[in-house]
Amino acid sequence: MSFEYSQELANDFEKLFEGDEECNVIIYAGENKSEEEIHAHSNILRTRSQYFRTILSNKTTKKKDEKFVVCFPNIQPQFFRMILRFIYCGKIDLAKLQGTDILKLLTAADELKIQRLLICVQEYLIKYRHEFLRQFSPEILEATFLHDSFTDLWDYCLEEICAEPDTLFKSDKFTNLKEPLLELLLRRDDLSMNEIDIWNNLIRWCFSQHPSIEQDIDKWSEEEIVIMKKTIHKFIPLIRFYHIPSTDFIANVYPFKEIIPKDLINDILVFHAAPDEHLNVDIQRPRKPKFVYDSSIVDNNHFAIFSSWIEKRNQFHYSVKGIPYNFNLLYRASRDGNTAADFHTKCDNKGATIVIVKISNSNQIVGGYNPLFWVSNNTFRPSCDSFIFSFASKDNLKSAKAGYSNGDEYSIGCYLDYGPLFGGGNDLGFYNNKWYRNKSYSYPDVGIPLSRFKTDDFEVFQVVRK
């Protein structure tokens, strides 16, 4: 029979760390060597760290009164003590540290090559400090980019940026991005942006590198043309020009023809003017975002917001990668038939669902969430968790509004002759193959048009917790 007392052992080693008995290593951390010394035991450092095993076996390492003396000017004392505690007993408390301090600790762990700590800290940041990471500041990206051992953090940041690029690309910090980082992002197949938006942001970045150059292209001197051509040169092959609509190409790309290779401009013009003409060029595939849901109306970002509304997290939205639900397409009017009967055939008794409606001749989308299930028993049902919503522009996530039911008995309408029906005042409903809103009764006004309104399509997704 064998016994293990690992926790007791860890506690004993922690006591050894906190005392100074038999210490034979003196450590100076930080730039100010006049601060108090940090003491440690060479045998423990050698056993737990390849890095310390190497430097403490080096005959050139300084000694003072038969004790090793080592200096780490790049590591602040508080972080060094945390790392030593981890070396001694495997304990570390990150909860009280700011996100920036955790990054400094991670950098220190990398300098000391404490592999297990590197894994633990990255896992903690991704799991518990994802909001900090989602700031996607150039500083965070550069910190992960410059350290090969930050692989988990780097992969996470890249995937999050590609899934929600507006967070970085539409921020003021985007223009501070270093050239290699921008290049890496533009190479990604899963960068979830329209190609014309990628181009426009690239031009914005180029201008920011040379603030003295006029924004008016027609006023550029020959020297300025050469400067901008050199700045953008390495990025040109990364832009998938053939997937930019012709109107956007003429309006936003063609004016910069002086800094784009002439043969590329000519090929793209032929491609749009004579689409049946065979071009001897390698046309890159369009970018394909990860985590794509089967919707022809909305994208990943909308489903992240829906998830947050479902859990009533109105002050904080899930990241795309962190969406806790699967959204399974049950019904699409343009595919399955635009009638109440078609809706009930596909959607009845399927559990919680979200309805998404695209209004014609606008960029507005509206809809609602039913946390119960649809049936055809000609009754209303109460709910405190259902909601209706509107995006004044589906491309502007900040235009979103959601309103929850007041909990009355008319929250969800389940009628055979109706499709989805929300509210006793027909706050949002589908009847006689048309969408309409009569008045706000069970839900607040979120900006859904009154009376009947034309729609391009509507979809219903089953909502299932992952």
Task: Please name every residue paired with 29 in a beta bridge, in sequence order, or none if there are none.
Answer: 72
Q: For the chain, what percent of residues have pLDDT higher than 70?
A: 96
Residue intervals of the chain classified under CATH 3.30.710.10 are: 6-145
Q: pLDDT-derived band of residue 465, with 50, 70 and 90 as boundaries? A: very high
CA dihedral 404, 407, 408, 411 (to 10 degrees): 50
Residues 108, 158: Cα–Cα separation, whole Å: 23
* pLDDT tens by residue, 234-253: 999 999 999 999 999 999 99
**Whole-number pLDDT of residue 198:** 96
Segment among 47-51, 76-80, 82-86 with least mean pLDDT: 47-51
Digit-coded pLDDT (tens) for 255-296: 999 999 999 999 999 888 887 777 777 888 888 776 678 899
Helices 151-163 & 115-128 angle (0-180, nearest 10): 20
Homologous superfamily of domain range 6-145: Potassium Channel Kv1.1; Chain A (3.30.710.10)
Q: What is the mean pLDDT of residues 43-56?
A: 86
18 pLDDT exceeds 80?
A: no
CA atoms of 358 and 394, how far apart (whole Å): 9
| Whole-angstrom distance, CA of residue 304 vs CA of residue 319 | 6
Mean pLDDT (whole number) for 27-39: 77
Q: Which stretch of DSSP H or E encloses residue 462?
A: strand 455-465
Instruction: Please provide the DSSP assignment of 104-156 as one string.
Output: HHHHHHHHTT-HHHHHHHHHHHHHH-HHHHTT--HHHHHHHHT-TT-HHHHHH
Percent with pLDDT over 90 in the chain:
58
Sheet with 63-64, edge to edge strand ranges: 38-40, 25-29, 67-72, 63-64
- DSSP secondary structure string for all residues of 65-105: TTEEEEEETTS-HHHHHHHHHHHHHS----TTS-HHHHHHH
* Average pLDDT of every residue of the chain: 90
DSSP code of residue 348: B
State the average pLDDT over residues 64-93.
Answer: 88
Arithmetic mean of pLDDT, 61-73 = 83
